[in-house]
């Protein structure tokens, strides 16, 4: 493993708090994979065989339906550990995962992870805390989907990527427009209309490069606070 990867693991929500012996036990049979953008890591319905630790790049969790195609439930970025609930409960994946950019992933055998979660208290606690954070992220998304209009959802998503205490920000989206539309629960056409609508709140978009020139106005429009 590269030095910068090892350094990143020290900051990782799951691996960071582990004593050295537990980390070694967890990573004993782990291996690294480099994969290009667009790779399917696993499919909805499959048994969960690995915990994926994202060392670099980003991944989309994708829900599929026979008649409606697919949607993006969430994007995961460097540092993310997924999908713990499926591994812990020995349950099939509820979603597929596909790489959005080129990625480097540390693959940890699921059974070793599950066994250590049962035995190693430091890991159990780190997992409980991380799942609590994940639950809050999804709760926000459910509120977002039910309470906000399409332009408000787009605005709130852009704000979540920025330092919202500043007045302005420059963002670089990692995902394609189509994937972003799915993550926000709208069609590509609605996404374009939402970007147009946000122009008057100082949102300038050029491809994946986004400029927010009036964050306070955008926050007001999206009813964006620390709770949503």
Minimum Å gap between C-beta 64 and a second copy is 8
Min dist. Cβ of residue 99 to a second copy (A)? 19
Segment interacting with a second copy, rule: CB under 8 A, options 11-19, 50-58, 91-99, 160-168: 91-99
Instruction: Write the interaction track for a second copy spanning residues 69-88; mark x where CB under 8 A is met and - where it is not.
Output: xxx-xx---------xxx-x
Distance from C-alpha of 142 to C-alpha of 147, rounded to nearest angstrom: 8
3-state secondary structure of 105: strand
Would you say 118 or 163 has its CB closer to a second copy? 118
Question: Which residues ranging from 31 to 70 are in contact with a second copy (CB under 8 A)?
Answer: 44-45, 63, 65-70
Query: Does 140 sit near a second copy (CB under 8 A)?
Result: yes
Q: Which residues of 95-113 are buried (b: 16+ CB within 10 A; e: fewer)?
A: bbbbbbbebbbbbbbbebb
Cis-peptide into 58, omega within 30 deg: no
Q: Is the dihedral of CA 200, 204, 208, 212 positive or negative?
A: negative
- Name the one range near a second copy by CB under 8 A: 48-56, 124-132, 157-165, 202-210: 124-132
CA distance 167 to 61: 32
Contacts of 206 (CB under 8 A, 6+ apart): none
Q: Which is nearer to a second copy, 7 or 226 (CB)?
A: 226
Q: How many CB atoms lie within 10 A of CB 34?
A: 12
Between 145 and 166, name the residue whose CB sits nearer to a second copy.
Answer: 145
- Does the footprint of a second copy cover residue 217 (CB under 8 A)? no
Element (H, E) at 143: helix 121-147
- Under rule CB under 8 A, how many of the chain's residues touch a second copy? 51
Residues of this chain that bind a second copy (CB under 8 A):
44-45, 63, 65-71, 73-74, 84-86, 88-89, 91-92, 94-95, 117-118, 121, 124-125, 127-129, 131-136, 138-143, 145-148, 182, 185, 223, 226-228
């Amino acid at each position: 493993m590269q030095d910068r990867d090892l350094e990143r693991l020290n900051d990782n929500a799951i691996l960071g708090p582990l004593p050295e012996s537990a980390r070694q036990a967890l990573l004993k049979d782990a291996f690294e994979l480099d994969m290009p953008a667009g790779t399917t890591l696993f499919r909805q319905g499959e048994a969960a065989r690995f915990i994926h630790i994202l060392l670099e790049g980003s991944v989309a969790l994708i829900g599929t339906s026979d008649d409606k195609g697919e949607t993006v439930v969430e994007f995961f970025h460097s540092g993310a550990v997924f999908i713990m609930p499926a591994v812990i409960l020995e349950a099939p994946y509820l979603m597929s995962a596909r790489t959005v950019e080129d990625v480097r992933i540390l693959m940890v055998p699921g059974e070793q992870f599950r066994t250590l979660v049962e035995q190693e208290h430091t890991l159990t606690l780190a997992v409980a805390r991380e799942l609590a954070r994940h639950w809050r992220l999804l709760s926000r998304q459910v509120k977002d989907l039910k309470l906000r209009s399409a332009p408000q959802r787009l605005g709130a998503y852009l704000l979540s990527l920025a330092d919202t205490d500043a007045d302005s920000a420059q963002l670089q989206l990692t995902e394609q427009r189509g994937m972003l539309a799915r993550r926000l629960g709208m069609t590509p056409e609605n996404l374009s209309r939402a970007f147009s609508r946000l122009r008057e709140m100082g949102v300038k978009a050029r491809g994946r490069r986004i400029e927010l020139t009036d964050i306070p106005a955008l926050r007001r429009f999206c009813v964006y606070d620390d709770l949503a």
